[in-house]
Structure 1
Amino acid sequence: MQLLAGDIGGTNSRLAIYQTGPDAGLELVTEKDFASAEFDGLEAIIAEFLQQSGAEVERAAFGVPGPVRNGQCTTTKFHWQLSAKSINARFGFAATHLLNDLEANAWGIDRLKDEQMVLLQAGDPDAQGNRSIVSAGTGLGEAGLFWDGHQHIPFATEGGHSDFSPSTPLEFALFEHLTKQHGHVSWERLVCGPGLETIHDFLRQHRKAPAPAWLKQVMREQGSAAAISNAALTKQDEICDQALDLFVRLYGREVGNHALKIMATGGVYLGGGIAPKLIDRLRQGAFIEAFLDKGRMQELMASMPVRIILNQRTALLGVAHFAATMSL
């Protein structure tokens, strides 16, 4: 049986055909990336991919950036209207599943090999229980995996949109700055690629230290978040370094918040595109220090293994695995 799997994003959408057998094993047949902005919706991407591949698909599953309710989703960033029922009707699949993109990542975790992850905190060697996955990229996604005593069952959340909670005078100043602009300030405002830019811009104003001309040029060439990150990692600019430090601390704190709320004693996973690029910085201590800083719960937090996911196809593997499991 052939399955269609998709990892849908605001910048790129990756589709793949997998062949599966009775044991739900997966074999990649073909895969292609599409620039999302060049299409008016997911169905247009599916139509082009199926025409190019010539595949005869029985079932499909897609990880999508937004809350999924009753098989429908309006994507958070670019406002596509998605419907599993509509996809089925157009393409004649036996079943189509829409999953929140972080839920899709959660389904992919058990498909990963040890070398596709980096350990940040060893935690308890016999760790067992619920798991947490938090991904910073274009936005901030959060999901969990409930341990029922025999297996992990992924579930979606929209925790990245919960209220940001400042804890230092500098963070309160940042909070007030963003409140004037946006009203509600979520963790996603800060812990994502655009969030690093937001922190950097705030610090420039707060420290009264305008960006130097060379940095502005690099921002135009590489993109602001990449330029800020690179300038920080190479110690070329003090404000960039401070911005990345605050970003890492906020990331660690919110990952700890999510892990604590769902009692993720079975492990914590960092997905998304940012963490693999900041491995050395995340290892320097500020991230784990912020992760552990939960008062009387610090010992519990120290028992949780924390890993960075390196495989950027985890969500694609996850939705394929989900579709194969649902077909059994």
Structure 2
Amino acid sequence: MLVAADVGGTKTNLGIYELSGDIHSPVAKATLASAEYDSMISLVSEFLKDTGLNPEYAVFGVAGPVMESRSTITNLRWIIEENVLKKELGMKSVRLLNDLQAIAYGIADLEREDLFTLNQGRKTPHGAMAVIAPGTGLGEAYITQDESSRYAAHSSEGGHTDFGPTDALETRLLSHMFGQYEHVSYERVCSGIGIPNIYSFLRDKEGYEEPAWLFSRLSQSDDKTKTILTEAVNTSAPCELCSRTLEVFLSILGAEAGNLALKVMATGGVYLAGGIAPKIVSAFPESPFMKAFIGKGRLSHVLEHIPVNIILNPEIALMGAARFGLEHLCSSA
């Protein structure tokens, strides 16, 4: 058997799979609060103890870069190492994947209802695919396929590349951000941590009024991004400042998704993942996202034909970790 996990700073989704089983039908599954455990070993050990099962293989998708079979999850202060996990858990093999890699491997198992289509496009057989995932940060990855459609997912830290404005307002936003940060990446303006930066810029520099009730609500909120987005899509009582914040965010996201698509020639499609996009699906069709995605001058015609979808399935990273394990670790078992 195989144990797979999607490890995040807040929660960890786990599943156990038969080696010949169905990705959509794990033998056991659970979601645990990551911060309640002092290590990955203690979390996985408790899960396995509760299930009474003893898998021989493990794949864990982790929210952070994996280098030399090792990763650190900053929010948890966990140091995760493949060899240590293998020894302590008594397994034949343990692999760590970047969480975006795990999401990328899960794309092959998505059903039609798991996707919201923004651009139908024309998918090229065996074409590269791109994944961009605004959540707390901004994750990016890409997928290559061989002639038998076998996937290889590649991690990236593209969210930390330099933010490139596409209009006058975004240029002013960049100038404003340089007053706070030495380096302004896409993540600073296109993620959960970036949305409040756009909001404060529009309020402080662009003359958008912050209602007193919203100031009060944000002052008491532990998650300002969630509050801003909730009000941005509240059609019954629209807030101009929140709506404009969302509009700017989606324009920047569209532009960077288009950048990624061109860099890897993602003729197999672009997929939006992460915690934000599925929650604001209704805002995409009338937003500047696709205009910004396609607006690449002489190569705009290339972007017009690339399929773009939002991934709605919240277990995509768990599915991908399991898919990788079943194909790459257990194929000879």
TM-score normalised to the size of structure 1? 0.94
Q: Is the 8 A contact 1:253 1:291 kept in 2?
A: yes
* Equivalent residue for 1:257, pick from 259, 263, 271: 259
Q: CA offset at residue 139 of structure 1?
A: 1.2
The answer for unaligned runs of 5 or more in structure 1 is: none
The worse-fitting range, judged by mean Cα deviation, of 128-137 and 97-106 is 128-137
* Equivalent residue for 1:41, pick from 35, 39, 42: 39
* Equivalent residue for 1:84, pick from 77, 82, 85: 82
Q: Is the 8 A contact 1:127 1:305 kept in 2?
A: no
Q: CA offset at residue 146 of structure 1?
A: 0.8
Task: Give the aligned residue type for 1:159.
Answer: G
Write the mapping of 1:167-182 to structure 2, written as runs, cut at 5 A: 167-182=166-181
The worse-fitting range, judged by mean Cα deviation, of 285-294 and 74-83 is 74-83
SS in structure 1 of the partner of residue 91 of structure 2 = coil
Change (3 A) 1:42 1:285: same
Query: Which residue of the partner structure matches residue 270 of structure 2?
Result: 268
Task: Give the aligned residue type for 2:326.
Answer: A
Between the aligned residues of both structures, percent identity stands at 38
Q: 2:225 aligned with 1:225, yes or no?
A: yes
Task: Give the aligned residue type for 1:228.
Answer: I
Task: Give the aligned residue type for 1:144.
Answer: Y
Task: Give the aligned residue type for 2:147.
Answer: G
Task: Give the aligned residue type for 1:303.
Answer: H
Q: CA offset at residue 15 of structure 1?
A: 1.4
Task: Give the aligned residue type for 2:229.
Answer: S
Task: Measure the CA separation in 2 of the matches of 1:56 and 1:232.
Answer: 47
Query: Which residue of the partner structure matches residue 121 of structure 1?
Result: 119
Task: Measure the CA separation in 1 of the matches of 2:34 and 2:180.
Answer: 28
Residue deviations 1:15-73 (CA, integer Å, cap 9, x gap): 1112222xx64431221112222222212211221222221111000111111122111
Query: Which residue of the partner structure matches residue 53 of structure 2?
Result: 55
Task: Measure the CA separation in 2 of the matches of 1:288 and 1:79.
Answer: 38
CA RMSD across the alignment: 1.7
Task: Measure the CA separation in 2 of the matches of 1:4 and 1:125.
Answer: 33
Task: Measure the CA separation in 2 of the matches of 1:77 and 1:171.
Answer: 30
Query: Which residue of the partner structure matches residue 8 of structure 2?
Result: 9
Task: Measure the CA separation in 1 of the matches of 2:124 and 2:42.
Answer: 47
Task: Measure the CA separation in 1 of the matches of 2:3 and 2:270.
Answer: 29
Task: Give the aligned residue type for 1:253.
Answer: A
Residue deviations 1:151-199 (CA, integer Å, cap 9, x gap): 2321111111111112323222221222222211111111112211111
Task: Measure the CA separation in 2 of the matches of 1:186 and 1:132.
Answer: 19
Task: Measure the CA separation in 1 of the matches of 2:208 and 2:293.
Answer: 30
Query: Which residue of the partner structure matches residue 142 of structure 1?
Result: 140
Query: Which residue of the partner structure matches residue 290 of structure 1?
Result: 292
Q: Is the 8 A contact 2:124 2:267 kept in 1?
A: no
Change (3 A) 1:165 1:39: same
Q: Is the 8 A contact 2:247 2:287 kept in 1?
A: no
The worse-fitting range, judged by mean Cα deviation, of 79-88 and 149-158 is 149-158
SS in structure 2 of the partner of residue 182 of structure 1 = coil
Runs of 4+ in 1 over 6 A off after TM superposition: none
Query: Which residue of the partner structure matches residue 96 of structure 2?
Result: 98
Number of residue pairs the alignment of both structures matches: 325
Task: Measure the CA separation in 1 of the matches of 2:287 and 2:233.
Answer: 15
Residue deviations 1:258-316 (CA, integer Å, cap 9, x gap): 11100000111111121111212111141000000111111110110001111010110
Change (3 A) 1:183 1:77: farther
The answer for unaligned runs of 5 or more in structure 2 is: none
Change (3 A) 1:213 1:132: same
Change (3 A) 1:157 1:126: closer
The worse-fitting range, judged by mean Cα deviation, of 178-187 and 108-117 is 178-187
Q: 2:192 aligned with 1:193, yes or no?
A: yes
The worse-fitting range, judged by mean Cα deviation, of 12-21 and 267-276 is 12-21
Q: Is the 8 A contact 1:121 1:306 kept in 2?
A: yes
Q: Is the 8 A contact 1:271 1:309 kept in 2?
A: yes
SS in structure 2 of the partner of residue 20 of structure 1 = coil
Change (3 A) 1:231 1:201: same
Query: Which residue of the partner structure matches residue 130 of structure 1?
Result: 128
SS in structure 2 of the partner of residue 194 of structure 1 = coil
Residue deviations 1:200-223 (CA, integer Å, cap 9, x gap): 012111134553231134333573
SS in structure 1 of the partner of residue 27 of structure 2 = strand
Task: Measure the CA separation in 2 of the matches of 1:217 and 1:226.
Answer: 15
Query: Which residue of the partner structure matches residue 107 of structure 1?
Result: 105
Query: Which residue of the partner structure matches residue 184 of structure 1?
Result: 183
Task: Give the aligned residue type for 1:109.
Answer: I
Q: Is the 8 A contact 2:104 2:320 kept in 1?
A: yes
Task: Measure the CA separation in 1 of the matches of 2:267 and 2:315.
Answer: 25
